[in-house]
Structure 1
Amino acid sequence: MEFKNISEQIIQKYREDETLMIRLFVQWCTNHDLDPQALYKKAYPYQLENEALKKVIENDDGFDEFHIDNETMLDVLQLFGNEDLAFVVSEEIQQLSKLQQD
């Protein structure tokens, strides 16, 4: 019984952390006027709509003033194994840098 409870706690903690990662991604996109669903689709073109992403966007309680720097965003995505999304975000960072230089 105790093992099952620990397993459930670990699963719950992972889901909470995953939701936080998604919220950070959505906020990073908001900070840069990017569409999080479009970027996600670009990273994972063959996946169906990501329900967790959709839910975070719909329930956005807006911490709009919270700025996530580029390096942190990439680190968080890689920490969760979202290498493809980290690659797409990296490409967007390069494009944003070019626009700021012009």
Structure 2
Amino acid sequence: MDQKQLEEKIIQRYQGEEKMMILVFAQWCVNHDLNPEELYLRAYPAQVSNSALKEALELVVPKEEAGEIGDETLLGVLSLFGNDDLAFVVTEEIAKMK
């Protein structure tokens, strides 16, 4: 495998993991009766539309069918991908719930 192929493989893997992070975020929102698109827009107002979030929304299940996603789990996943602005908005929502 040459350098270019290796770089492409790393990028593809990162993008796949990023999609999983977005799915975890979207499912956590649904589980807490929150609109993922609204929270995302609060965190990133310049990004009116996010195709990865739209894809994730097609995969989420009703909260009655979903497994529990802990607040700390979500915040940890967001942190791994450097989504500090989104983590801040999520933290605000967590505080409102308590």
Q: What TM-score does the superposition give when structure 2 sets the normalisation length?
A: 0.90
Structure with greater Cα Rg? 1
For residue 90 of structure 1, what is the aligned residue in structure 2?
91
Provide the alpha-carbon RMSD of the alignment: 1.4
Structure 2 counterpart of 1:49:
49
Report the alpha carbon displacement of residue 61 of structure 1 after superposing the two structures with TM. Answer: 5.4
- Matches of 2:85 and 2:91, distance apart in 1: 10
Instruction: Give unpaired runs (5+ residues) of structure 2.
Output: none
1:65 Cα deviation from its structure 2 partner: 2.0
State the identity as a percent.
51
Residues 70-100 of structure 1 show CA distances to partners (whole Å, capped at 9, x for unaligned) of 0111111111011000000000000011xxx
| Long gaps (5+) in structure 1 | 98-102
CA–CA separation in structure 2 for the residues paired with 1:46 and 1:80: 19
Q: CA 1:27 to 1:12, structure 2 compared with 1: closer, same or farther past 3 Å?
A: same
5 Å matches for 1:69-84?
Answer: 69-84=70-85
What is the TM-score with the length of structure 1 in the denominator? 0.87
Is residue 2:75 matched to residue 1:40? no
